[in-house]
């Protein structure tokens, strides 16, 4: 069987959405910070059991619920990966509000909350951040080292199949 699903990477600016995108799609990481303007779209095929899953991956610039992101970007979305930066509290202080907004506009979508940049913090710090969140954190990743990146997309793919 073959399926195509749209997955959106979203969250605050500078959390590593584009780095996760590049690590997953191209197996690359770039130290330079480049702001995404609008949206960047690419695709990658993975296999989930007997299903060939074509992932249309949308890397959306900036914030989630503000007027900067047109609602049209969210149309047809099967999965959302909401990324926050484990090193910057401002990227997860309003996380419940952001996730509630996403659930409201995408009631059928699978939403995963991801803490990125785990290579820059201790496991004690990660536990402290995650325990203080108002939502469940599904996984922590490092786009730089690649840790858990493939697993993130395999898990999302399995949820969508």
Domain map of the chain by residue range?
2-160
- Domain 2-160, CATH among 3.40.50.300, 3.30.420.270, 1.20.1050.10, 3.40.50.2300: 3.40.50.300
Whether the full predicted model's pTM is greater than 0.75, yes or no, is yes
Q: E strands, the chain, where? A: 2-10, 39-48, 51-60, 77-85, 110-116, 139-140
Query: pLDDT value at position 72?
Result: 82
pLDDT tens digits for 128-139?
Answer: 999 999 999 999
Give the residues of the chain that fall short of pLDDT 70: 33-38, 62-68
Query: pLDDT value at position 38?
Result: 63
Query: pLDDT value at position 7?
Result: 97
* Bridge partners, residue 110, by sequence: 79
């Amino acid at each position: 069987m073959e399926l195509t699903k749209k997955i959106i990477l979203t969250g605050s600016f500078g959390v590593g959405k584009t780095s996760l995108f590049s690590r997953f799609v191209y197996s690359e990481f770039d130290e330079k910070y480049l702001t995404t303007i609008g949206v960047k779209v690419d695709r990658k095929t993975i296999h989930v059991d007997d299903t060939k899953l074509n992932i249309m991956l949308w890397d959306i610039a900036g914030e989630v619920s503000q007027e900067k992101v047109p609602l049209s970007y969210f149309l047809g979305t099967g999965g959302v990966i909401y990324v926050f930066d484990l090193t910057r509290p401002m990227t997860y202080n309003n996380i419940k509000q952001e996730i509630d907004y996403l659930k409201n506009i995408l009631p059928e979508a699978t939403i995963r909350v991801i803490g990125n940049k785990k290579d820059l913090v201790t496991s004690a710090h990660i536990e402290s951040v995650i325990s203080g969140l108002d939502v469940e954190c599904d996984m922590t990743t490092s786009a730089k080292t690649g840790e858990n990146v493939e697993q993130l997309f395999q898990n999302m793919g399995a949820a969508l199949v």
